[in-house]
């Protein structure tokens, strides 16, 4: 983006010399405002304010008729600045700006006074107080309107390529959707294979589809799509740029196996003498130091785990590796790619089990996690689909699933949120076990059963009705190990208000989902926000659930918050659509709220550079002043308030405008 | 002073629900999610201690106290709960089934037993009687006014048929279940004497089903072991005034003979326990397999 393309209208060279004529439009918002304060009084009040030529009131200014009234006043030359006192600008600012644009007026000659949220809603029981506050708001915005300057929205080009971080089911779906629309996709995955957590699951609720059967064809589709560059075993190193023009550095970790020569024959792994726990099976099975995580991995090429490799060189001999793909001197590579959009689909980590000592995990042999149970139930898992008690290898005759482990707990070290998938996966696992062992007793100790999705409640009903799984409403209170390694469960049956003490063979902890351990690093690299739960924050929880607050960066899947496969896929497709809109249009308009450094005033102290949360400020070594990238700048104003020389001006929130607001509200008060 | 009850659930089983789910419609009982519509709308529950939801919960958990408590007898079988159940559970039918099970397992209320005694003696649950002071009831006049014979064509007109009823009761072991013995030994058929002697020598006519149930319940909870049998008078008193189902336990509503048996036959019962347990298990597994 060259500087010349950006049309900066500096507030100082405002050429508007015509008289300022402000129109104030007071909206009743039904009874939200009009039912609390006296609108006739408000009109009289507004009319007396300086530069106000007209003040009107109407039931709903956002309606067609309301908008037409404002448009008529502009057309008639009555007003050239518009103040609407109504709801929040987040609700209708764009609506009214459009009216100004349609009438040939600069949209930034509009300001909105929020007298609903700020005055009437919060002071419903104090109409007189609400009236005073509403008057203050109108006075402030009228004062600002006098200082408004015309601004022009910026346009930037968008490159038709996307980076997708994370190749789980969400990343895979986003990648396919974008690639099939003709955009080039870089699919980056930190593990040696794509597929994510879904590859570890045995069956999926509520349809009991085999997880691999529905996932692996998608994985193959990815590897065959010419528009997709799969970068497995790679991590994001650095991100620069802004919407439409991101420069991303990607570290391709050394495989120590030439990925072009390797045929995936597996001869090397058969000869490798080093055996370590397989992460894919959560350490329940073994792999060699040279390995692929699981047979259906994509790409199905081998990697040497240098942490455990003893460099014996057996795999490198020509009798073992005929194509001679082994390369012990392999090194990490840094690739730089340019993309127009970024989709974050980094998924989740299962809740850290090291914190679960009080559930007996790690202390009692027969306490396992839900994900371990999943691998146990998988026909490709360590026990070939027959879950056994870790202590003696027998099939448990009774299993207890404990719900909300690590979730719905406001104490330190746990998560206050609901992980959304645990109820359903516990029911699914219990059903799977019952199918294999109908005589076994399966208990699910829960606080609430959240079977919210399509077909979920029916799945739950069937589990109790047909399978006889016992749903025990009560959270686990205590767990003890008996000498025979069976477990004593203490809880309450809250339905009967009676404590329970039962002995069971095995306990499965339905652990929840938490944000990935490296999500903080990714958030700061991409300058996107995280919500209090640690997951990436969406721009609006309801209306912009796949957008981040940074333009051009989208969030898909569990990276945004716990969700099941159907929801993750829906969101992935939404994120793909969001990114495709930008790339298909080829250019994007951004709000001109950026800050400007006034070269004459900047002392080059650089204090603003570190303060900028969006990495928008760089230092111009030649001119020895700070420079703000107007596209990356989000107009937060941090730099303007930091600058010791008052050299930074923020469009639409200039010091002059803000002082006018303060003078407006303090107008009546004498110090 | 009453002993403190621990009232802890230590054993959960399918021992009751497996009987219920034999019926396809009643099998919905396991789908109960304890919403409380049944208890909330129960007309009987407004006046008595019946808590329908808890009855169902005890069925699901296999808690034998559901059979021994008063709750199942407080239902008026109005079917309101069944009408309203969002999981289509035939609650009322289940309660009736539970009453059958309770009777089979020896948890019958003395008043109900008394009614069966009247039935056995007269052929009627509610026989034609006399007014206070011995004056004849006006039923005969009423009957006559409708042109009916004074005495209905039942056992009242055919007293010899009462014997048939008694034979029927004996053949089905119902007489033992309700502790009924004929006043007139002549009425007793010959088969009767034989079995009577046999059972008296062993378990005072306790039926097999009953023993099974008892041994199971014995092994079930520590709670019950702690409870000592109460005196007859106490039990009777309690039965009259008891309204709170929560405090009810198995032993204080068992009939006198039942409590005696518990103490005297403790040894024999524990001996049989193991064998019976195995048997029970076997039948359960085979039941499951059949279903499969």
Percent of chain B topping pLDDT 70: 59
Say whether A434 sits in a helix, a strand or coil.
helix
The full 3-state SS of A231-276, as one line of letters, equals ECCEEEEEEEEECCEEEEEEEECCCCECCCCCCCCCHHHHHCCCEE
Cα–Cα distances (Å) from A470 to A2, A220, A312, B239, in that order, read 66, 40, 54, 33
Mutate to test the interface with B, among A443, A459, A468, A491 (most CBs of B within 10 A): A468
d(CA B144, CA B157): 15
What pLDDT was estimated at residue A631?
81
Q: Which residues contact B244 (CB under 8 A, 6 or more apart)?
A: B49
> How many other CB atoms are there within 10 angstroms of residue B157's CB atom?
11
Size of chain B in residues: 292
pLDDT tens figures, A617-654: 999 999 999 999 988 888 889 999 999 999 999 999 99
Look at residue B288 and tell me whether its pLDDT is greater than 70. Answer: no
DSSP3 helix / strand / coil % (chain B, rounded to 5): 60, 0, 40
Mean pLDDT of chain A, nearest integer = 92
pLDDT tens figures, A281-323: 998 999 999 999 998 898 989 999 999 999 999 999 999 999 9
Token code pair at residue A163: 């980076």
Q: Which range (A5-19, A98-112, A225-239) has the least confidence?
A: A5-19
CB A196 within 8 Å of CB A597: no
Say whether A594 sits in a helix, a strand or coil.
coil
**A448 shares contact with chain B (CB less than 8 Å):** no
pLDDT band at B252 (very low <50, low <70, confident <90, very high): very low
Token code pair at residue B266: 């403790």
**A480 shares contact with chain B (CB less than 8 Å):** no
ipTM: 0.76
Region A331-339 average pLDDT: 95
Residue A206, min C-alpha distance to chain B (Å): 17
**A457 shares contact with chain B (CB less than 8 Å):** no
d(CA A130, CA A119): 5
Find the residue in A nearest to B246 (Cα): A496
Q: Which of B54, B60, B288 sits opposite A470 (nearest CB)?
A: B60
What pLDDT was estimated at residue B136?
66
Q: Which range (A232-246, A481-495, A628-642) has the least confidence?
A: A628-642
Interchain proximity A461–B60, CB inside 8 Å: no
Mutate to test the interface with A, among B9, B34, B57, B66 (most CBs of A within 10 A): B9
Q: Which of A449, A461, A501 sits opposite B8 (nearest CB)?
A: A501
Q: Which residue has the tokens 């097999």?
A: B208
How many contacts, defined by CB atoms under 8 Å, are there between A and B? 58
Look at residue B228 and tell me whether its pLDDT is greater than 70. Answer: no
Chain B CB contacts of A473 below 8 Å: 34
Region B160-171 average pLDDT: 92
Look at residue A419 and tell me whether its pLDDT is greater than 70. Answer: yes
- Going A599 to A601 to A604 to A605, the CA torsion angle's sign is negative
Say whether B195 sits in a helix, a strand or coil.
helix
What pLDDT was estimated at residue B152?
87
Look at residue B290 and tell me whether its pLDDT is greater than 80. Answer: no
Starting from the edge strand earliest in sequence, which strands make up the sheet with A184-188, in order? A228-231, A184-188, A161-165, A341-344, A553-555
- Give the residue extent of every domain in chain A: 17-148, 161-253+334-347+516-585, 349-514, 595-657
Residues 46-75 of A with CB under 8 A from B: none
Token code pair at residue B270: 């524990």
The CA-based angle A537-A538-A539, given to 5 degrees, is 120
Q: Which residues contact A621 (CB under 8 A, 6 or more apart)?
A: none
Domain A17-148 has CATH 3.40.50: yes
The full 3-state SS of A184-247, as one line of letters, equals EEEEECCCCCCCHHHHHCCEECCCCEEHHHHHHHHHHHHHHCCCEEEECCEEEEEEEEECCEEE
Q: Which residue has the tokens 């088969």?
A: B191
Look at residue B246 and tell me whether its pLDDT is greater than 80. Answer: no
Half-sphere exposure of A102 (CA within 13 A, CB side): 12
* Fold match, A161-253+334-347+516-585 / A349-514: yes
pLDDT tens figures, A174-221: 999 999 999 999 999 999 999 999 999 999 999 999 999 999 999 999
DSSP single-letter state for residue A317: S
Chain A CB contacts of B53 below 8 Å: 495
Half-sphere exposure of A372 (CA within 13 A, CB side): 23
B261 phi and psi, to 5 degrees?
-60, -45
Token code pair at residue A80: 């050239």
CB A73 within 8 Å of CB A79: yes
Q: Which range (A30-39, A649-658, B267-276) has the least confidence?
A: B267-276
Q: Which residue has the tokens 């075993």?
A: A233
What pLDDT was estimated at residue A272?
95
Token code pair at residue B288: 């499951």
Residues 237-256 of B with CB under 8 A from A: none
DSSP single-letter state for residue A625: E
Q: Which residue has the higher pLDDT, A495 or B207?
A: A495
Burial class of residue A36 in the structure, from the number of CB atoms within 10 Å of its CB (0-12 exposed, 13-18 middle, 19+ buried):
buried
Angle at which helices B52-61 and B91-104 cross, to 10°: 60
The 8 Å CB, 24+ separation contacts for A315-324 are A315/A268, A315/A271, A315/A272, A315/A290, A320/A267, A320/A268, A320/A271, A321/A267, A321/A268, A322/A267, A323/A258, A323/A261, A323/A262, A323/A263, A324/A261
Say whether A406 sits in a helix, a strand or coil.
coil
What pLDDT was estimated at residue B198?
45
Q: Which residue has the tokens 């329940």?
A: A284
What pLDDT was estimated at residue B86?
96
Mutate to test the interface with B, among A400, A443, A492, A498 (most CBs of B within 10 A): A498
Half-sphere exposure of A49 (CA within 13 A, CB side): 30
Token code pair at residue A70: 């404002």
Token code pair at residue B235: 């039990």
d(CA A282, CA A292): 14
What pLDDT was estimated at residue A241?
86
Interchain proximity A501–B9, CB inside 8 Å: yes
Say whether B270 sits in a helix, a strand or coil.
helix
Half-sphere exposure of A593 (CA within 13 A, CB side): 8
Domain A349-514 has CATH 3.40.50.1460: no
**B25 shares contact with chain A (CB less than 8 Å):** no
pLDDT tens figures, A249-273: 999 999 999 989 999 999 999 999 9
d(CA B42, CA B200): 43
Chain B CB contacts of A439 below 8 Å: 284-285, 288
pLDDT band at B2 (very low <50, low <70, confident <90, very high): low
Domain A161-253+334-347+516-585 has CATH 3.30.160.270: no
Mean pLDDT of chain B, nearest integer = 73
pLDDT tens figures, A525-550: 998 999 999 999 999 888 899 999 88
d(CA A588, CA A6): 13
CA A241 from chain center: how many Å? 20
Domains of chain B, start order: 17-106+207-291 (1.10.1060), 111-125+145-202 (no CATH)
Token code pair at residue A110: 């509009």
Interchain proximity B31–A465, CB inside 8 Å: yes
Chain A CB contacts of B7 below 8 Å: 498-499
For B204-235, b where at least 16 C-beta lie within 10 A, e where not — what string? ebbbeebbbbbbbbbbbbebbeebebbeeeeb
Interchain proximity A439–B288, CB inside 8 Å: yes
pLDDT band at B285 (very low <50, low <70, confident <90, very high): low
Look at residue A571 and tell me whether its pLDDT is greater than 90. Answer: yes
With CA atoms as reference, report the closest residue to A339 among A460, A246, A234, A229: A246
Q: Which range (B2-6, B38-42, B196-200) has the least confidence?
A: B196-200
With CA atoms as reference, report the closest residue to A151 among A8, A5, A6, A4: A8
What pLDDT was estimated at residue B284?
52
> How many other CB atoms are there within 10 angstroms of residue A224's CB atom?
9
β-partners of residue A284 are: none
Domain A595-657 has CATH 3.30.70.580: no
Interchain proximity B285–A465, CB inside 8 Å: no
Bridge-based pairing of strands A154-157 and A290-291 is unpaired
Token code pair at residue B51: 């808590």
d(CA A163, CA A161): 7
Residue B127, min C-alpha distance to chain A (Å): 42
**A459 shares contact with chain B (CB less than 8 Å):** no
């Amino acid at each position: 983006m060259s500087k010349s393309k950006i049309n900066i209208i500096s507030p100082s060279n405002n050429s508007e010399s015509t008289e300022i004529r402000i129109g104030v439009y007071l909206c009743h918002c039904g009874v939200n405002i009009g039912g609390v304060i006296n609108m006739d009084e408000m009109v009289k009040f507004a009319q007396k304010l300086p530069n106000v030529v007209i003040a009107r009131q109407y039931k709903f200014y956002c309606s067609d008729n309301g908008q037409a009234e404002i448009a008529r006043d502009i057309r008639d030359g009555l007003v050239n600045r518009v103040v609407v006192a109504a709801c929040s600008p987040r609700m209708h600012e764009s609506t009214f700006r459009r009216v100004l644009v349609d009438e040939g007026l600069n949209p930034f000659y509009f300001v909105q006074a929020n007298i609903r949220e700020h005055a009437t809603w919060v002071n419903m029981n104090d109409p007189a107080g609400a009236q005073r506050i509403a008057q203050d708001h109108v006075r402030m915005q009228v004062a600002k309107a006098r200082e408004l300057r015309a601004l022009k929205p910026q346009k930037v080009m968008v490159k038709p390529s996307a980076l997708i971080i994370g190749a789980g089911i969400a990343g895979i779906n986003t990648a396919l959707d974008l690639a099939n629309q003709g955009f080039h996709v870089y699919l980056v995955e930190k593990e040696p294979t794509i597929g994510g957590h879904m590859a570890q699951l045995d069956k999926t609720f509520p349809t009991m589809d085999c997880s691999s059967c529905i996932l692996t064809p998608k994985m193959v589709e990815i590897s065959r799509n010419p528009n997709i560059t799969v970068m497995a075993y790679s991590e994001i190193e650095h991100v620069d740029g802004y919407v439409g023009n991101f420069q991303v550095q990607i570290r391709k970790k050394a495989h120590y196996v030439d990925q072009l020569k390797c045929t995936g024959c597996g001869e090397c792994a058969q000869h490798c003498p080093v055996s370590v726990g397989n992460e894919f099976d959560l350490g329940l099975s073994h792999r060699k130091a040279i390995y692929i995580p699981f047979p259906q991995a994509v790409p199905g090429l081998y990697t040497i785990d240098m942490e455990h490799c003893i460099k014996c060189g057996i795999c490198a001999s020509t009798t073992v590796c005929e194509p001679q793909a082994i390369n012990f001197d392999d090194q990490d590579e840094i690739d730089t790619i340019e993309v127009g959009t970024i989709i974050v689909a980094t998924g989740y980590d299962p809740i850290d089990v090291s914190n679960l000592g009080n559930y007996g995990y790690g202390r009692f042999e027969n306490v396992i996690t839900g994900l371990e149970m999943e691998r146990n139930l998988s026909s490709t898992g360590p026990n070939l689909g027959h879950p056994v008690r870790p202590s003696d290898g027998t099939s448990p005759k009774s299993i207890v699933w404990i719900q909300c482990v690590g979730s719905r707990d406001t104490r330190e070290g746990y998560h206050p949120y609901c992980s959304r998938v645990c109820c359903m996966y516990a029911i699914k696992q219990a059903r799977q076990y019952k199918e294999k062992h109908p005589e076994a007793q399966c208990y699910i100790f829960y606080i609430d059963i959240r079977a919210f999705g399509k077909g979920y409640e029916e799945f739950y009903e069937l589990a109790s009705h047909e399978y006889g799984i016992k749903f025990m409403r009560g959270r686990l209170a205590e767990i003890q190990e008996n000498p025979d390694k069976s477990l004593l469960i203490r809880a309450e049956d809250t339905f009967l208000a009676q404590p329970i003490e039962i002995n069971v063979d095995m306990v499965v902890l339905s652990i929840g989902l938490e944000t990935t351990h490296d999500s903080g690093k990714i958030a700061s690299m991409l300058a996107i926000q995280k919500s209090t739960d640690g997951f990436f924050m969406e721009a609006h929880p309801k209306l912009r659930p796949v957008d981040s607050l940074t333009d051009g960066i989208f969030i898909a899947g569990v990276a945004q918050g716990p969700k099941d496969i159907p929801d993750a896929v829906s969101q992935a497709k939404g994120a793909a659509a969001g990114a495709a809109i930008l790339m298909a249009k080829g250019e994007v308009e951004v709000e001109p709220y950026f800050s400007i450094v006034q070269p004459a005033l900047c002392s080059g102290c650089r204090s603003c550079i570190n303060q900028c949360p969006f990495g928008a400020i760089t230092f111009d070594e030649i001119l020895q002043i700070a420079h703000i990238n107007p596209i990356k700048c989000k107009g937060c104003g941090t730099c303007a308030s930091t600058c010791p020389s008052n050299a930074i001006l923020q469009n639409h929130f200039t010091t002059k405008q803000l002082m006018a607001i303060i003078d407006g509200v303090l107008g009546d008060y004498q110090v | 002073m009453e002993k403190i009850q621990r009232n802890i659930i230590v054993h959960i089983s399918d021992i009751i629900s497996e009987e219920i789910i034999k019926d396809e419609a009643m099998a919905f009982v396991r789908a109960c999610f304890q919403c409380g519509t049944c208890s909330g709308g129960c007309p009987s529950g407004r006046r008595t201690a019946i808590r329908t939801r808890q009855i169902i919960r005890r069925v699901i958990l296999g808690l034998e106290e559901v059979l021994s408590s008063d709750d199942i007898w407080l239902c008026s079988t109005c079917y309101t709960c069944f009408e309203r159940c969002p999981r289509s559970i035939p609650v009322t039918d289940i309660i009736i089934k539970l009453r059958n099970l309770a009777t089979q397992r020896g948890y019958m209320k003395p008043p109900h037993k008394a009614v069966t005694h009247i039935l056995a003696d007269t052929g009627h649950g509610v026989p034609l009687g006399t007014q206070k002071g011995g004056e004849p009831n006006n039923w005969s006049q009423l009957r006559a006014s409708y042109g009916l014979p004074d005495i209905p064509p039942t056992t009242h007109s055919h007293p010899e048929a009462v014997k048939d009823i008694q034979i029927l009761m004996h053949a089905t072991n119902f007489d033992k279940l309700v502790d009924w013995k004929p006043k007139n030994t002549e009425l007793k058929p010959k088969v009767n004497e034989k079995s009577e002697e046999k059972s008296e020598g062993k378990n005072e006519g306790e039926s097999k089903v009953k023993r099974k149930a008892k041994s199971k319940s014995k092994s079930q909870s520590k709670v019950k072991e702690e409870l000592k049998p109460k005196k007859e008078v106490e039990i009777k008193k309690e039965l009259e005034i008891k309204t709170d189902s929560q405090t009810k336990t198995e032993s204080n509503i068992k009939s006198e003979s039942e409590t005696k048996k518990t103490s005297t036959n403790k040894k024999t019962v524990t001996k049989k326990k193991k064998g019976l347990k195995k048997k029970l298990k076997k039948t359960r597994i085979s039941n499951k397999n059949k279903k499969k």
